[in-house]
Amino acid sequence: MEKIVINTPVVRSEILVGENWESVRGMLPQRGVVIITDDNVRRLYGENFPAFPVFSVLPGEDSKKLTVIESLAEKLLDTGVDRTGFLLAIGGGVVCDIGGFLASVYMRGIRCGYVSTTLLAQVDASTGGKNGVNLGGTKNMLGCIRQPEFVICDPGMLFTLPDKEYLSGLSELIKTAVIGDRDLFELIERNHTEILKRDPELLAKLISGSVKFKAEVVTADELETGLRRILNFGHTYGHAIEMQTSVPHGFAVASGMELATEFSYEKGYIGAQEKYRITDLLNRFTLLTDYKIPDDQMGQLILRDKKKSGTDINFVFTEGIGKASVRKINLNEVIDFYKRFRDKKK
């Protein structure tokens, strides 16, 4: 087991990679605990949950809305949870988002911790304190930053994931490697077969590498005023693709990374060889999807991106494997590139 720490002015957050998830029992208060999960996770692991009240939501992105938060808050109130309460989220990225958001607003904030059950959550969603719910067709428009006290990442839980959900998590792992860790990228390149077999020792190493990088970024810039923006690589186009087509998050981000990589190449930030290595790796894991979003619809979706500022947007480019930069560019430039990219694909 490896412990990775995020220190912020408010809380110390510990990410435990390789820890058995059932050890969470020893990390919880004796009373005032509630568990948030989804129906799939409850079916698979619910018999071994700690003996506290459990509230379950429907799996998937449709649960990331304020009506669900309101319903859960009422259940916490009915259960008698007060400001000394503790919320334990056991699930993937959606459950961690819901749990963190609810913990941040219920009675102006209660303590929380996560057991991350998906690769997507273990390498990205549960680390860093970002919690968001969707507003209509706009991804994560309502949100906050609140660090969990702990996150347990047990690679053994990944064996119960459907193939598509497992692959979705690989996308965020590749993203981390592209923007900040060349060695991690090469480790993924060399171990395609073992990754698909879900080798637990290798997965622990990959998850740890991803979390370490993100922890460094979050510690330096918790509120995303500068450096942390690089974690959005592929997400400007990716979120638009996700909300328009309802493909899984990781597959949408993979297509967003392909676009951002091609955009970086067009601007001269990377050469042809590195562009090929990035897109080839995404293709080898069958992460790229055919989304066919018309130009005008993509433009409307990007105009609603929360990263925009007036007529500009903070766009993340790759400057080579393991290096990224954030540049403020005009929204029309982002939309125009998409049009050129689609024309080349036809």
The span from the CA of 260 to the CA of 266, in Å, is 10
81 and 223 in one domain?
A: no
Last residue of a domain, one of 160, 175, 203: 160
Residues 184 and 216 in one domain: yes
pLDDT tier at 202, thresholds 50, 70, 90: very high
CA distances from 298 to 134, 258, 303, 315, 331 (A): 18, 15, 9, 15, 11
Q: What is the mean pLDDT of residues 15-43?
A: 97
Number of other CB atoms surrounding residue 36 within 10 Å: 27
The length of the chain in residues reads 346
Same domain, 246 and 201: yes
Q: Are residues 137 and 186 located together in one domain of the fold? A: no
**Average pLDDT of the chain, as a whole number:** 93
pLDDT in tens, 55-104: 999 999 999 999 999 999 999 999 999 999 999 999 999 999 999 999 99
Opening angle at CA 314, ends 313 and 319, nearest 5: 130
Q: Is the domain of 329 the same as that of 271?
A: yes
Please say which residue of 137, 160, 183 terminates a domain: 160
The pLDDT, as a whole number, for residue 345 is 76
Q: Do 126 and 28 lie in a common domain?
A: yes
The whole-number average pLDDT for the span 268-283 is 97
Structural domain containing residue 218:
163-345
Say what the pLDDT of residue 290 is: 86
| Same domain for 120 and 264 | no
pLDDT at 51 > cutoff 80: yes
Are 193 and 214 in the same domain? yes
pLDDT value at residue 115: 98
Phi, psi angle pair for 223, to nearest 5°? -95, 10
Of the two residues 341 and 303, the one the predictor is more confident about is 341
Report pLDDT digits (tens) over 172-191.
999 999 999 999 999 999 99
pLDDT of amino acid 304 = 79
Average pLDDT in the 188-201 region? 96
Of 165 and 289, the structure prediction assigns the larger pLDDT to 165
* d(C-alpha 251, C-alpha 282), whole Å: 9
What percentage of the chain exceeds 70 in pLDDT? 99
pLDDT of residue 263: 98
For residue 123, which phi and psi values (nearest 5 degrees)? Answer: -90, -15
Contact between 215 and 5 (Cβ < 8 Å)? yes
CB 287 within 8 A of CB 170: yes
pLDDT at 311 over 70: yes
Instruction: Identify whether the C-beta of residue 116 lies closer than 8 Å to the C-beta of residue 122.
Output: yes
pTM over 0.85: yes
Whether 148 shows a pLDDT value over 90: the answer reads yes
Number of domains in the chain: 2
d(CA 21, CA 90): 9
Confidence check: pLDDT of 307 > 90: no
72: tokens are 């859960």
What average pLDDT does range 286-295 have in this prediction? 89
Instruction: Render pLDDT for 20-33 as a digit per residue (tens, 0 to 9).
Output: 999 999 999 999 99
139 and 246 inside one domain: no
Average the pLDDT over 128-157 and give the result. 90
Q: Are residues 76 and 90 located together in one domain of the fold?
A: yes
Which pLDDT score, from 0 to 100, does residue 346 have?
66
Q: What CATH number does the domain containing 15 carry?
A: 3.40.50.1970
**Residue 301 belongs to a domain with what CATH number?**
1.20.1090.10
What's the pLDDT tens digit per position in 74-86?
Answer: 999 999 999 999 9
Q: Region 268-291: what's the mean pLDDT?
A: 96
Report the DSSP beta bridge partners of residue 309: 312
Separation CA 233–CA 257 (nearest Å): 7
Q: Give the C-alpha separation, 2 to 154, whole Å.
A: 11
CB 16 within 8 A of CB 113: no
140: closest CA among 217, 228, 234, 61? Answer: 61
Rounded to whole angstroms, the maximal C-alpha distance in the chain is: 60
pLDDT the model gives residue 139: 84
Measuring CA to CA, how many Å separate 19 from each of 24, 150, 153? 9, 11, 6
Q: Are residues 175 and 198 both part of a single domain?
A: yes
Are 226 and 101 contained in the same domain?
A: no
Residues sharing a CB contact under 8 Å with residue 264, sequence separation 6 or more, in sequence order: 270, 275, 317, 318, 319
Asked if 36 contacts 95 with a C-beta cutoff of 8 angstroms, the reply is yes
Stretch 161-176: mean pLDDT? 95
Does the pLDDT value for residue 171 go beyond 90? yes
Whether residue 317 contacts residue 264, with contact meaning beta carbons closer than 8 Å, is answered with: yes
Q: What is the pLDDT of residue 269?
A: 97
> Which of 160, 187, 207 represents a domain boundary (last residue)?
160
Residue 38 vs residues 78, 87, 103, 337: alpha-carbon distances, Å: 20, 14, 16, 39
Distance of CA 202 to the CA centre of its chain: 20
CA gap 203, 101 in Å, rounded: 28
